[in-house]
């Protein structure tokens, strides 16, 4: 009986999220019908513009399942974009070596933060807060000016459309058929998402992550290596941050200091809205995907509406986050009473 | 010889020794590159010089650090929304005083109304944070993360995305100086906040309660202390401090710049508390330590500025300092080091 209740609570949060997304999208279809909201491309754009966020939210979900948090992700994205731009444009490096270097940078970042959190037992928030300022400051040290990326290979990666012919297309005035399309970044994001899902659900390592987040003490008593698990989670998260940053750079094709500000909030909000508990032990990457899609839909609304300032996105996300956090805490309280 | 050793031991055992030592170290390191660091001159009837600059500029941070100390002590968490709350307070004050216009040359509403509204805005933000942390039992940093991001957005909405200027002499006084008094006004504001808080904590049982709750919230609840109320009040007080600090910061630039008021100050405030020798895990605290910590950080910033480091790059150095301090505080590190030492010792014995 008790077990059933617990599962119900988890699923309930996820169902609310999916319903919220469907309701919002349906509302968009009705309100912005005349502006072409119903086009398949509008839906695909949610994935195109948020490919980086999907990857980072997946990493964030893993970290949050262990009961930790990472608020350095936005700054790492900025640092990744800036490093890519700087290496390719100023130093004249190729796109592939530059990509490899930023991915290694992400892993090293995760390694240091993970060590401080898992082995020195410093609060994840303090460590990643310092990481956040460190990465942002490093971005400014590399260059205070904006650097646009003009590397041919990089632009080829960024702009090669993959037409989805089965979704049909529209014929424009010149008689050319425009199919609905996605960029390669979307495919990378989805592969990562499925990879993390499989890792969490079907591997020993994944189950250990849930065990550590559920109750660290019990996990330790069961003979699980809590420290190593946590360290590895932060390392994978660091890697995903720089990969997400790369996907982000494919969209913006530039590096500048103020880039991706508040990104950490979006990633955390996506995970929380998707049903990941802040206390750890519960979470699902597909829930986080819906969290990202909800954020994307809000942005699309604001673009379609046309007059609202982009600050409204941040405020709405913060309000949604507050709402879901309160919902979670009410669930936790109700569970305590049983 | 023994007397000297005992003296040094007593001196280093003194709780505020390390924070004070850091401050002196940072200040005197300037003598190498900037020999005139301690020179004080009088320009237009106001004291002027690097050292005055440190004391003046640190005021905002001192006020923030006072509030942050109580939050850390009571809840074992930190309030990372203080910078954003500062910008909200500044925006509210300028909005009231300008009546919604972008630039004014005289107050549209009475000055005191703007000040009260700004402080009220700070208190309201504190109430929101306190409610989430104390009543809903959400981790402090996640709860304050909401305002951390939304705060500047709200401030932008109030100022309509633009910088609101208040070009009135009396508005600038709070951030610069009052005619006839050679010491900058923010110094006095900081002094008043610190003194009032100190008296409040010493003359009432509040200070004791905060420490008790911070050490063990459940036990203090069983003893009859309203733990949730104490934690809530500490966040409200922190909001109030952020409001006052926001007023001073806004008066310095006689405008409301939602993007830049209090930028990166949350890290500085946490750093000030940690530098003051306070544990970030809560419990016992030293208000004076945090104040010294705040001055140390400003001294560090001014030193870096004097060396020609740009404001964008300063967070790198501060982040390193934070990590080093919290790593030194970590009991795990001490255990690792002592383990290593015993290993080395036993290794020697075997050899």
Q: What is the pLDDT of residue A7?
A: 53
Which region among A63-72, A161-170, B94-103, B294-303 has the lowest average model confidence (pLDDT)?
A: A161-170
At residue B350 the predicted structure's pLDDT band, cuts being 50, 70 and 90, is low
Mutate to test the interface with B, among A126, A136, A257, A326 (most CBs of B within 10 A): A126
pLDDT for the residue B36: 77
Lowest mean pLDDT among A218-222, B2-6, B153-157, B325-329: B2-6
What's residue B213's pLDDT? Answer: 92
> In the predicted model, is pLDDT for residue B56 greater than 80?
yes
Mean pLDDT of A82-89: 94
Point out the least confidently predicted range of A210-224, B91-105, B321-335. B321-335
Q: From CA A298, how far away is CA A295, in angstroms rounded?
A: 5
CA distance A47 to chain B (A): 24
pLDDT, tens digit (0-9, with 9 covering 90-100), for A126-144: 899 899 989 999 999 999 8
Query: Does B316 contact A134 at a Cβ distance shorter than 8 Å?
Result: yes
Say if residue B181's pLDDT is above 60.
Answer: yes
Mean pLDDT score, B28-36 = 80
A265 interfacial to chain B (CB closer than 8 Å):
yes
Which residues in chain A have Cβ-Cβ distances shorter than 8 Å to B312? 136-137, 140, 144, 257
Cβ contact (<8 Å) for A122 and B330?
A: yes
Q: Which residues from B are below 8 Å from A227, CB to CB?
A: none
What residues form DSSP beta bridges with B47? B42
pLDDT(A6) > 60? no
Pairing verdict, β B164-166 and B103-104: parallel
Using the beta-carbon criterion (under 8 Å), do A278 and B267 form an inter-chain contact?
A: no
Mean pLDDT of chain A: 88
Across the range A218-241, mean pLDDT stands at: 94
- Which residue would you say has higher pLDDT here, B325 or A7? B325
Task: Give which of A263, A286, A278, A264 is closest to A326, Cα–Cα.
Answer: A278
B334 touches chain A (CB under 8 A): no
Question: Domain spans of chain B?
Answer: 57-294
Please answer yes or no on whether B330 and A120 come within 8 Å at the CB atom: yes
Confidence of residue A305 (pLDDT cuts 50, 70, 90): confident
Q: Are A235 and A111 in contact (CB under 8 A)?
A: yes
State whether B326 and A122 contact (CB < 8 Å): yes
User: CB under 8 Å, gap of 24 or more: what pairs does A292-295 form?
Assistant: A292/A50, A292/A53, A292/A54, A292/A57, A292/A266, A293/A21, A293/A46, A293/A50, A294/A17, A294/A20, A294/A21, A294/A24, A294/A270, A294/A320, A295/A50, A295/A53, A295/A266, A295/A269, A295/A270
Can you name the residues that pair with A71 across neighbouring β-strands? Answer: none
Whether the pLDDT of residue A2 is over 50: the answer is no
Helices of type H across B34-110: 50-75, 82-98
Mean pLDDT of A180-192: 92
- Write the pLDDT tens digit of every residue in B238-283: 999 999 999 999 999 998 988 889 888 888 898 899 888 888 888 8
pLDDT at residue B70 above 70?
yes
B328 reaches A (C-beta below 8 A): no
Q: B32 to chain A nearest CA, in Å?
A: 24
Among candidates B223, B264, B304, B276, which has minimal Cα distance to B70? B276
pLDDT of residue A290: 94
pLDDT tens, position by position, B184-239: 999 999 999 999 999 999 999 889 999 999 998 888 888 888 999 999 999 999 99
What pLDDT is recorded for position A3? 47
User: What pLDDT sits at residue B196?
Assistant: 96
Measure in Å the smallest separation between the Cα of B139 and chain A Cα atoms: 8
Residues A122, B327: C-beta atoms closer than 8 Å: yes
| Confidence tier at A83 by pLDDT (50, 70, 90) | very high
Q: How far apart are CA A128 and CA B225, in angstroms?
A: 33
Shortest CA gap A275–chain B (Å): 15
Q: Are B63 and B83 in contact (CB under 8 A)?
A: no
Tell whether A326 lies on the interface with B, counting CB pairs under 8 A: yes
Q: Is B263 on the interface with A (CB under 8 A)?
A: no
CB-CB under 8 Å, B323 with A321: no
Pick B88 or B6 by higher pLDDT.
Answer: B88
When scoring B131, B149, B301 by the number of chain A Cβ atoms within 10 A, the one with the most, hence best to mutate, is: B149
Task: For residues A215 and A202, give the distance between their C-alpha atoms in angstroms, rounded to a whole number.
Answer: 20
Distance from CA of B170 to the nearest CA of A (A): 32
Mean pLDDT computed over B35-43:
80
Q: What is the pLDDT of residues B96-119, one digit of tens each?
A: 999 888 888 888 889 999 999 999
């Amino acid at each position: 009986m008790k077990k059933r209740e617990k599962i119900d609570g988890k699923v309930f949060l996820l169902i609310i999220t999916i319903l919220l997304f469907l309701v919002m999208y349906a509302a968009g279809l009705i309100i912005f019908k005349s502006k072409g909201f119903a086009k398949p491309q509008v839906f695909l754009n949610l994935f195109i513009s948020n490919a980086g966020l999907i990857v980072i939210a997946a990493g964030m979900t893993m970290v949050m399942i262990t009961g930790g948090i990472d608020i350095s992700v936005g700054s790492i994205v900025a640092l990744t974009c800036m490093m890519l731009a700087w290496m390719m444009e100023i130093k004249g490096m190729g796109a592939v070596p530059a990509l490899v270097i930023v991915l290694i940078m992400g892993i090293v970042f995760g390694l240091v933060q993970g060590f401080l959190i898992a082995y020195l037992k410093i609060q994840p928030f303090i460590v990643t807060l310092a990481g956040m300022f460190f990465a942002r400051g490093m971005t400014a040290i590399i260059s205070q000016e904006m650097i646009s990326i003009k590397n041919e290979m990089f632009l080829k990666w960024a702009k090669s459309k993959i037409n989805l012919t089965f979704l049909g297309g529209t014929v424009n005035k010149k008689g050319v058929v425009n199919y609905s399309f996605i960029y390669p970044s979307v495919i990378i994001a989805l592969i990562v998402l499925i990879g993390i899902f499989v890792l969490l659900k079907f591997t020993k390592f994944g189950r250990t992550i849930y065990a550590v987040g559920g109750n660290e003490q019990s996990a330790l008593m069961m003979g699980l290596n809590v420290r190593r698990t946590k360290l590895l989670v932060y390392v994978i998260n660091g890697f995903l941050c720089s990969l997400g940053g790369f996907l982000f750079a494919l969209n913006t094709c530039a590096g500048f200091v103020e880039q991706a500000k508040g990104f950490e909030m979006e990633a955390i909000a996506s995970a929380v809205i998707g049903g990941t508990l802040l206390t750890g032990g519960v979470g699902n990457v597909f829930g986080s995907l819906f969290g990202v899609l909800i954020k994307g839909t809000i942005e699309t609304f604001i673009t379609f509406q046309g007059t609202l300032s982009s600050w409204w996105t941040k405020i709405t996300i913060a309000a949604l986050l507050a709402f879901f956090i309160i919902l979670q805490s009410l669930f936790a309280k109700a569970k305590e009473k049983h | 010889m023994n007397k000297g050793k005992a003296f040094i031991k007593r001196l280093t055992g003194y709780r505020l020794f390390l924070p004070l030592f850091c401050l002196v170290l940072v200040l005197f390191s300037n003598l190498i590159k900037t020999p005139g660091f301690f020179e004080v001159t009088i320009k237009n009837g106001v004291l002027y010089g690097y050292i005055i600059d440190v004391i003046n500029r640190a005021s905002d941070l001192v006020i923030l650090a006072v509030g942050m100390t109580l939050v850390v002590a009571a809840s074992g968490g930190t309030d990372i929304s203080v910078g954003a709350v500062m910008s909200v307070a500044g925006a509210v004050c300028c909005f009231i005083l300008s009546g919604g216009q972008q630039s004014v040359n005289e107050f549209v509403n009475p000055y005191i109304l703007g000040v009260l509204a700004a402080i009220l805005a700070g208190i309201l933000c504190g109430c929101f944070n306190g409610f989430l942390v104390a009543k809903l039992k959400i981790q402090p940093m996640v709860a304050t993360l909401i305002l951390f991001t939304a705060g500047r957005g709200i401030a932008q909405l109030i100022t309509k995305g633009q910088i609101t200027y208040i070009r009135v002499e009396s508005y600038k006084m709070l951030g610069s100086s009052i005619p006839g008094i050679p010491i900058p006004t923010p110094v006095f504001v900081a002094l008043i906040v610190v003194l009032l808080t100190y008296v409040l904590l010493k003359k009432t049982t509040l200070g004791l309660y905060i420490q008790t709750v911070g050490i063990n919230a459940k036990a203090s609840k069983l003893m009859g202390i309203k733990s949730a109320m104490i934690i809530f009040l500490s966040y409200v007080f922190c909001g109030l401090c952020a409001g006052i600090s926001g007023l001073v910061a806004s008066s310095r630039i006689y405008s409301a710049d939602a993007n830049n008021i209090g930028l990166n100050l949350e890290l500085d405030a946490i750093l000030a508390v940690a530098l003051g020798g306070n544990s970030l895990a809560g419990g016992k605290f030293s208000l004076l330590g945090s104040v010294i910590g705040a001055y140390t950080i400003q001294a560090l910033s001014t030193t870096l500025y004097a060396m020609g480091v740009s404001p964008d790059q300063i967070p790198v150095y501060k982040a390193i300092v934070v990590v080093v301090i919290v790593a030194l505080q970590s009991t795990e590190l001490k255990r690792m080091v002592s383990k290593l030492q015993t290993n080395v010792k036993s290794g020697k014995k075997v050899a």
